[in-house]
């Protein structure tokens, strides 16, 4: 699998990362090696195999619809880098 | 009370130590203070810890002493025992960094389920152990807090990602420790540092409060100086937890009952792929010698073919990276952790925070993860990996129709020198060849010392069990350990 | 100009009426100070894990059954990955590969023509938080109270061709969901939100045109205006020989126009994959049967029952069942007073009038069936007359007062003391000799005047029948 500059720019954008030119070059080499290695999976025919997300067939794990939590605002905001009026703060999102 | 010297307390097993504390032969505070002294004198060399809980541990020692005096911890094998916790396990109000700049100031407002269980058993958390950043790495070199060094030779890596935890136990900086194992992160550092560790069956130990790397593969596991201590710790932390949907209720969690020196009639299989190409000759000799010991003790040992071992690594790195890219997206400088100081607008806040807060290896895996899930590649990589995973599981299922336990090396080599592997990620990934398939199939496995190479570095023996049959691997490991001691 | 056809499909997000959020034990109550209905799980703190609320699955199944869907008996959750501050984990737990319901449809009727609107799928997911702009600091405040509230997203097929059909579909959907008790469907609180996918094509064209998606609609009226506005805009674009861009647009109801939302700087690539922290859901036949048996009576069945059991006209039944709330009040009130037609009249006439006057929806009705029954009881016992009753009802409607104590307090009870009434009428007759004369001269209208004067003197608290009888008797004695 050939990894292009566009691919690196695209996956960096998806992962919300800003890469320097050096980092991009390095990522290109690394990803190309790694993805090519991943391509070895194609050596085996899996057309008759169902994808397996969970190793064990667990099913139907539920909780009942009962309120168990109270107000934990101070705890939740205790790690916030910036906060105001009981809220987390981000740069303006609406135009 | 008798004067206790460092060497009197520390080489003891957790079980012996706890027994002495419960018998009043030594106080919990004395033990904890001795433990802190050792850390003070040793940790400059090894860098096992990110945070040492000096005051909290002493305060806690007093509380636990009171409980012991009241007879409330009579049944606990861990009462008063100092334990190191890998720094990706949440501890309420105390730094939990994942060895990342991103979480360098994060104090969770809750405890992981395992912490609750350890505290109820009277164990004393002595500190938070170093690790590869977000558990991504096999050397503990990717830590934001600097690499941990191998107590068996400081120029060597301790393995990873639970390198700090394994090294702490090896350096007597903790009696026992908790690590986490996503692709070998408990077993491989145990192998490199000459200690013992268990990766439990997926679903045995609650993941609640374990900061996720790859959710479908992560399991918390014990690290100790011997099999019995590992079994005791596992007994305390294992159990169904309603807060973790993937927690599997099983019939018995009494692992210490399996501490029986007897392997007669046990059927042990060695996959040929585990002792073939790529395996260091000295490691191979040591593993086969261990198999011989078990055979002499009455087990039947034979070699067999385990299919598609080679495809476990690519499948593992596809799945782990994909899940990691999703799990680590929440670190954006808004709710907790690092936030860049200079940005313009939301997109810039996200990008700068994440680019400055994460290290190279973490960024690399997030990009791999984004790639294999991205539009047009999902089927070729992610779905393909899920199918390979199914085949690997099937291969193990078939093997376990014949064998009780699968035996092999934990790692293809002994510990590498610091810096040797960092430049080539793919080379580092290949070192996980014998461990990752266990995580893909959800199986339990133990790594325990079985010798040294010519440089004096430890070799780890890996025993893999059937799902939820931790008892099998504990019994075989214990029997082997007894034979080695004698 | 060519002749165009509008093609519309809807994605309707419905907040479910569970007590707790989809993956944690936090309350779903509307409002509350910011971030007080949150916990480490719904705010996506590191290391936390989701556990599915069983009621969410049952509500989703109920909605699927009532909309004639096939229930996916082996379904699971997936992660939809994207960065936005209202989504604390940077992924939304949703369903892509195996949604819980598929291939359903509901019948609507517009201008007497019946038509089935297909339902492509219904999936379960978690709601996001709320972003509030802070003018003072020019930043955005993030409140996660709604984050993790369970939603079902009902995705229709592109089967609608006009705003009328869209409104009929939404009304029908809303009614079904309310009858099921699955959601309160309050649009102003955001518990029912519709995204509109709209495209234009020449009549007879085999292919659909390029569609746009419009968000931010908070009333049926806004939806109707948005459809009309977007239809015109797209036709204009096509008439100028340009192409419609596939984009998301925001409808601004104040400016009566839509705007392209700033195109996201990155392509939308949600990188869905199966949620590893949740296990699959298996809906057994038994479970499905249990939910089926619990399905409440829906509108059509209810209408038939009202006509037969309560013997009220079809028109009444149709009007009352047009709102679950009205139907509930109707049944509860009848259960107390056993006067179906009377209850129906109060709901259809006075209640409807007041709702319209106050621009309210039936869901917002505040009075209790007990108080309506008491009011009917008062009329029935002859304790108040209808004129007074209407005045009292206005107060009951506004403040849900107890009519019995209210009429006592205000002295509105009918005076049944015949002696006092006779005395008053004597006085009225004595002071209106002209009217008496007129009456005897054959002007029967004069009697009405005398009755009116009496009622006025009695401040409306007299029984009109009794006044009539006495006035007639006394006049004839003259």
Residues of chain B with Cβ-Cβ distance to A27 below 8 Å are: 363-364, 367
Torsion angle of alpha carbons B256, B261, B263, B269, nearest 10°? 60
Cβ atoms < 10 Å from Cβ of C317: 23
User: Across the interface, do B326 and C46 touch by the CB < 8 Å criterion?
Assistant: no
Peptide bond into C316 cis (omega under 30): no
User: What pLDDT digit, counting tens, does each position of C117-138 carry?
Assistant: 999 999 999 999 999 999 888 8
DSSP string, B158-217: --SSSHHHHHHHHTTS-SEEEEEESSSTTHHHHHHHT-EEEEPPTTSB--TTBPPSSTTT
Q: How far apart are CA C277 and CA C338, in angstroms?
A: 54
Q: How far apart are CA C39 and CA B33, in angstroms?
A: 37
Domains along the sequence of chain B with CATH: 6-258 (3.90.1300.10)
Q: Does A94 touch chain B (CB under 8 A)?
A: no
Chain C: partners with 3+ C-beta pairs within 8 Å: A, B
> A-contacting residues of C 276-335, CB under 8 Å?
276, 278-282
Looking at every residue in chain B, the average pLDDT score rounds to: 95
User: Across the interface, do A54 and B216 touch by the CB < 8 Å criterion?
Assistant: yes
User: What pLDDT digit, counting tens, does each position of B348-373 carry?
Assistant: 999 999 999 999 999 999 999 999 99
Residue C386 clears pLDDT 90, i.e. is over it: no
**Least confident interval from B59-73, B197-211, C188-202:** C188-202
* Whether the complex's predicted ipTM surpasses the cut of 0.90: yes
Alpha helices in B47-109 (DSSP H): 54-69
Contact B232, B253 (CB under 8 A): no
Q: How far is A54 from chain C (nearest CA, A)?
A: 7
The SS3 call for residue B453 is coil
Catalytic center residues of B: 86, 161, 185
Question: 3-state secondary structure string, chain A?
Answer: CCCCHHHHHHHHHHCCCCCCHHHHHHHHHHHHHHHHHHHHHHHCCCCCCCCCCCCCCCCCCEECCCCCCCCCHHHHHCCCCCEECCEEEEECCCC
Q: DSSP secondary-structure letter at C27?
A: B
CATH topology of domain A5-43: Histone, subunit A (1.10.20)
Nearest to A90 among B108, B349, B441 (CB): B349
Disruptive mutation site among C19, C24, C25 for chain A (greatest number of A CBs within 10 Å):
C25
Residue C317 clears pLDDT 70, i.e. is over it: yes
In chain C, pLDDT over 70 holds for what percent of residues? Answer: 98
Q: How far is C28 from chain B (nearest CA, A)?
A: 19
Nearest to A37 among B107, B314, B384 (CB): B314
Q: What is the CA radius of gyration of chain A?
A: 23
Domains along the sequence of chain C with CATH: 4-286 (no CATH), 297-409 (no CATH), 418-477 (1.10.10.410)
User: What pLDDT digit, counting tens, does each position of B382-408 carry?
Assistant: 999 999 999 999 999 999 999 999 999
Query: What was the pLDDT predicted at A94?
Result: 64
Residue B11 clears pLDDT 70, i.e. is over it: no
Residue B5 clears pLDDT 60, i.e. is over it: no
Q: Which residues contact C196 (CB under 8 A, 6 or more apart)?
A: C8, C10, C166, C213, C214, C217, C223, C226, C227, C230
Q: Does C132 touch chain A (CB under 8 A)?
A: yes
Q: Does C36 touch chain A (CB under 8 A)?
A: yes
Encoded tokens for B180: 């986490």
Q: How far apart are CA B159 and CA C318, in angstroms?
A: 74
Query: What was the pLDDT predicted at C472?
Result: 84
The SS3 call for residue C109 is strand
H/E segment holding residue B222: strand B219-224
Encoded tokens for B315: 């499948």
Q: How far apart are CA A73 and CA A79, in angstroms?
A: 11
User: What pLDDT digit, counting tens, does each position of B295-329 carry?
Assistant: 999 999 999 999 788 899 999 999 999 999 999 99
Query: What was the pLDDT predicted at C267?
Result: 58
User: Across the interface, do C277 and B245 touch by the CB < 8 Å criterion?
Assistant: yes
Q: How far apart are CA B161 and CA B188, in angstroms?
A: 8
User: Across the interface, do A67 and C27 touch by the CB < 8 Å criterion?
Assistant: yes
**Least confident interval from B147-161, B453-467, C262-276:** C262-276
H/E segment holding residue B295: helix B281-296
């Amino acid at each position: 699998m050939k990894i292009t500059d566009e691919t690196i720019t695209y996956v960096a954008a998806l992962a919300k990362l800003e890469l320097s030119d050096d980092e991009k070059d390095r990522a290109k080499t690394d990803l190309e090696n790694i993805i090519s290695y991943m391509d070895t999976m194609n050596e085996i025919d899996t057309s008759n195999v169902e994808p397996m997300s969970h190793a064990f067939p667990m099913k139907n794990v539920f909780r009942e619809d009962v309120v168990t939590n109270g107000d934990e605002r101070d705890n939740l905001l205790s790690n916030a880098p910036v906060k105001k009026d009981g809220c987390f703060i981000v740069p303006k999102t609406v135009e | 009370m008798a004067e206790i010297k460092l060497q009197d307390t520390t080489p003891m097993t957790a079980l012996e130590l706890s027994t002495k504390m419960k018998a009043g032969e030594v106080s919990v505070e004395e033990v904890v203070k001795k433990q802190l002294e050792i850390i003070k004198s040793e940790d400059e060399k090894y860098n096992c810890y990110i945070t040492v809980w000096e005051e909290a541990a002493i305060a806690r020692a007093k509380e636990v002493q009171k409980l012991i005096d009241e007879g409330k911890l009579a049944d606990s094998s861990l009462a008063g025992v100092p334990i190191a916790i890998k720094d990706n396990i949440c501890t309420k109000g105390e730094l939990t960094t994942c060895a990342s700049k991103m979480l360098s100031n994060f104090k969770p407002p809750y405890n992981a389920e395992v912490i609750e269980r350890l505290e109820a058993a009277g164990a004393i958390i002595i500190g938070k152990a170093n690790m590869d950043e977000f558990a991504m790495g096999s050397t503990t070199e990717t830590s934001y807090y600097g690499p941990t060094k191998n107590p068996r030779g400081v120029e060597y890596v301790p393995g990873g990602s639970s390198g700090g935890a394994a090294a702490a136990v090896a350096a007597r900086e903790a009696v026992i420790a908790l690590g986490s194992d996503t692709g070998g992160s408990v077993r491989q550092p145990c192998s490199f540092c000459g200690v013992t560790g268990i990766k439990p069956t997926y679903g045995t130990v609650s993941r609640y409060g374990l900061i996720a790397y790859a959710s479908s593969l992560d399991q918390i596991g014990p690290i100790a100086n011997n099999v019995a201590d590992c079994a005791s710790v596992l007994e305390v932390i294992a159990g169904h937890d309603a807060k973790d949907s993937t927690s599997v209720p099983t019939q018995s969690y009494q692992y210490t009952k399996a501490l029986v020196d007897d392997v007669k009639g046990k059927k042990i299989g060695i996959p040929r792929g585990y002792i073939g190409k790529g395996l260091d000759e000295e490691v191979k000799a040591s593993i086969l010698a261990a198999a011989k010991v078990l055979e002499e003790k009455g087990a039947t040992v034979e070699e067999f073919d385990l299919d598609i071992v080679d495809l476990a690594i690519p499948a593992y790195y596809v799945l782990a990276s994909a899940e990691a890219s999703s799990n680590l997206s929440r670190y954006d400088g808004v709710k907790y952790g690092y936030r860049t100081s200079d940005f313009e607008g939301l997109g810039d806040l996200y990008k700068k925070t994440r680019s400055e807060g994460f290290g190279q290896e973490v960024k690399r895996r997030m990009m791999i993860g984004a790639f294999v899930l991205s539009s047009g590649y999902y089927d070729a990589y992610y779905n393909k990996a899920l199918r390979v995973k199914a085949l690997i599981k099937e291969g193990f299922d078939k093997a376990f129709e014949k064998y009780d336990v699968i035996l092999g090396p934990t790692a293809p080599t002994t510990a590498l020198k610091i810096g040797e592997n960092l430049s080539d990620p793919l080379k580092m990934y290949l070192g996980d060849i014998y461990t990752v398939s266990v995580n893909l199939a959800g199986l339990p496995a133990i790594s325990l010392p079985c010798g040294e190479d010519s440089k004096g570095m430890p070799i780890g023996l890996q025993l893999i069990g059937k799902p939820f049959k931790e008892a099998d691997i504990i019994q075989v490991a214990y029997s082997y350990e007894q034979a080695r001691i004698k | 100009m060519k002749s165009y056809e509008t093609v519309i499909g809807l994605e309707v997000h419905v907040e479910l009426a569970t007590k707790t959020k989809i993956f944690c034990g936090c309350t779903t109550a509307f409002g509350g100070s910011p971030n007080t209905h949150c916990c480490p799980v719904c705010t996506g703190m590191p290391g936390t894990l989701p556990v599915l609320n069983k009621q969410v699955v049952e509500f989703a199944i109920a909605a699927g059954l009532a909309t004639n869907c096939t229930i996916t008996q082996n379904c699971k959750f997936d992660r939809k990955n994207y960065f936005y501050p209202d989504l604390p984990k940077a992924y939304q737990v949703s369903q892509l590969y195996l949604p819980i319901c598929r291939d359903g449809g509901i019948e609507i009727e517009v201008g007497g023509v019946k038509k089935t609107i297909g339902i492509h799928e219904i999936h379960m997911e978690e709601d996001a938080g709320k972003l509030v702009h802070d003018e003072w600091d020019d930043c955005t405040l993030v409140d996660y109270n709604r984050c993790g509230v369970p939603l079902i997203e009902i995705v229709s097929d592109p089967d609608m061709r006009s705003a009328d059909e869209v409104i009929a579909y939404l009304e029908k959907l809303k009614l079904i969901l309310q009858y099921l008790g699955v959601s309160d469907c309050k649009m102003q609180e955001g518990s029912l939100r519709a995204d509109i996918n709209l495209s234009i094509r020449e009549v007879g064209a085999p292919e659909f045109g390029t569609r746009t998606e419009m968000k931010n609609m908070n009333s049926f009226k806004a939806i109707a205006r948005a459809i009309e506005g977007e239809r015109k805009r797209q036709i204009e674009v096509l008439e100028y020989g340009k192409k419609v861009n596939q984009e998301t647009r925001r409808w601004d109801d104040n400016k009566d126009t839509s705007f392209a939302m700033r195109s996201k700087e990155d392509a939308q690539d949600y990188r869905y994959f199966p949620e590893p922290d949740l296990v699959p859901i298996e809906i057994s036949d038994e479970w499905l049967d249990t939910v089926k048996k619990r399905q409440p009576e829906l509108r059509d069945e209810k209408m038939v029952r009202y006509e037969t059991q309560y013997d009220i006209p079809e028109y009444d039944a149709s009007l009352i069942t047009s709102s679950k709330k009205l139907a509930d009040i109707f049944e509860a009130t009848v259960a107390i007073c056993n006067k179906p037609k009377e209850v129906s009249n109060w709901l259809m006439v006075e209640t409807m009038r007041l709702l319209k006057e106050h621009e309210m929806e039936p869901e917002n009705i505040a009075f209790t069936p007990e108080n309506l029954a008491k009011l009917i009881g008062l009329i029935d016992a002859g304790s108040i007359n209808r004129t007074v009753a209407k005045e009292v009802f206005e107060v009951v409607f506004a403040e849900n007062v107890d009519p019995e104590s209210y009429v006592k307090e205000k002295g509105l009870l009918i005076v049944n003391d015949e002696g006092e009434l006779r005395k008053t009428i004597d006085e009225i007759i004595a002071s209106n000799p002209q009217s008496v004369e007129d009456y005897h001269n054959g002007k029967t209208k004069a009697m009405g005047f005398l009755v009116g004067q009496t009622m006025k003197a009695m401040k409306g608290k007299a029984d009109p029948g009794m006044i009539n009888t006495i006035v007639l008797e006394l006049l004839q004695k003259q």
